[in-house]
């Protein structure tokens, strides 16, 4: 089944403790992206990647890092999480930059930083 898989689904952590949210897709997509969803703000792009070793900032990159060492994986790294990073996170992928087919989304990771 074609899908984007995120782990974990739920995570509670403490301020300052480094964490990684994994994202993997099995569709051989070139483009991958991370979004966060917050009430009243909708979804905002954090980082995106056009291919292996090619990444760039989205609208809200502060406090996050990403890497793209393999085509299928695009982990999101929070090196020193803070409470304002409590949010629902989605990974997404697309084969063409999304213009014709849109993006396929993962099921989400609900992160709480206390």
What tokens were used for 84?
Answer: 């304002």
Q: Does 40 bind another protein (CB under 8 A)?
A: yes
What tokens were used for 89?
Answer: 């996170």
Q: Which stretch binds another protein (CB under 8 A): 16-24, 45-53, 63-71, 79-87?
A: 45-53
**Distance between CA atoms of 48 and 46, rounded to whole angstroms?**
7
Q: Using the 8-state DSSP alphabet, how is residue 101 labeled?
A: T
Name the one residue in this structure whose structure tokens are 């974990």: 8
Nearer to another protein, 83 or 97 (CB): 97
Closest contact distance (angstroms) between CB of 70 and another protein is 19
For 99, residues 6+ apart whose C-beta sits below 8 A from its C-beta are none
Query: Pick from 1, 62, 69, 100: which binds another protein (CB under 8 A)?
Result: 100
- Give the interface with another protein as residue ranges (CB under 8 A): 31, 33, 35, 40-45, 48, 50, 56, 58-59, 90, 92, 97-108
């Amino acid at each position: 089944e074609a899908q984007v898989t995120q782990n974990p689904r739920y995570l509670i952590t403490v301020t300052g403790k480094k964490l990684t949210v994994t994202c993997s897709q099995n569709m051989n997509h070139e483009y991958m992206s991370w979004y966060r969803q917050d009430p009243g703000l909708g979804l905002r792009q954090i980082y995106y990647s056009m291919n292996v070793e090619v990444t760039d900032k989205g609208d809200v990159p502060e406090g996050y890092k990403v890497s793209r060492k393999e085509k299928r994986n695009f982990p999101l790294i929070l090196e020193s999480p803070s409470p304002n990073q409590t949010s629902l996170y989605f990974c997404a992928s697309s084969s063409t930059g999304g213009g014709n087919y849109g993006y396929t989304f993962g099921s989400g990771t609900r992160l709480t930083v206390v």
